[in-house]
Amino acid sequence: MTGTDVRAAGGCLCGEVKYVVRGPLRDVLICHCADCRRWHGHAAAMTSASRGDVTISAPESVRWFTVIGDGPRPRRGFCSRCGASLFWDAPERQTIGIAAGTLEQPTGLQSAGHVYVSQASDYELFVDDGLPHSAGAATAEASYPPS
C-alpha cells in the first residue's frame, strides 16, 4: 500500500541528495558481505522500502555503480558530490535498499539481524546482541535482503 504521508526522510552528508519515504520501512539488516564492506568501509546497516514510496529530491545528483558479475546485479547509488552511499537497487525487486544511517532520527526502526556473516572481515567482533546471525541472506527476509 502506498501512502501519502512522509514516513521517513534522509539524505547524504553534504545535503545535495535528500529523499523521503511514503510507506513502511523494513527493519534494519546489517550486511557483512564483501561488496558492502568495500562500499561502506564496514558492514552496512540497510533498511528497504517499496520503490514507488521513495522520492529522491535531486536524482541527477545520484550516481549509480554496478559490480560486474553473472546474472542480474544490483546497482548502488551514491551522492556524486560527497560520495555518501545511499541506495541499493536490484532490478528484480519491488523494493529499494536504503542505508539506514542516512535516515533522520528517530527512525522508529530496529535492528533485525546480521546477514552474510560468513563474509565478515577477520577483525569484526561478533558479540551476542540477541539478533539472528545468518551466514548468507536472512531466510525470513529472503525476498528483500540488502544484498
> 112-135: string of b/e by CB count within 10 Å (b at 16+)?
bbbbbbebbeeeeeeeeeebebbe
Q: Does 67 bind Zn ion (CB under 5 A)?
A: no
Task: Write down the least CB distance from residue 33 to Zn ion, Å.
Answer: 3
Task: Write down the least CB distance from residue 6 to Zn ion, Å.
Answer: 20
Task: Write down the least CB distance from residue 79 to Zn ion, Å.
Answer: 3
Restricting to residues 7-26, which ones interact with Zn ion according to CB under 5 A? Answer: 12, 14, 16
Q: Does 27 bind Zn ion (CB under 5 A)?
A: no
Which of 1, 142 has the CB closer to Zn ion?
142
| 18-21 vs 111-115, strand pairing mode | unpaired
| Rounded-to-integer distance, Cα 106 and Cα 8, Å | 9
Q: Does 36 bind Zn ion (CB under 5 A)?
A: yes
State the DSSP H helix or E strand holding residue 138, giving kind and residue range, or none if neither: none
For residue 120, CA distances in Å to 58, 59, 75, 87 come to 33, 32, 21, 21
Q: Which position among 79, 99, 117, 137 is part of the footprint of Zn ion (CB under 5 A)?
A: 79
Secondary-structure percent of the chain, ordered helix, strand, coil, rounded to 5:
15, 35, 50
Stretch that binds Zn ion, among 28-36, 63-71, 94-102, 136-144 (CB under 5 A): 28-36
Q: Tell me the residue type at 146.
A: P
Restricting to residues 81-110, which ones interact with Zn ion according to CB under 5 A? Answer: 81-82
Q: Which residues bind Zn ion (CB under 5 A)?
A: 12, 14, 16, 31, 33, 36, 79, 81-82, 147
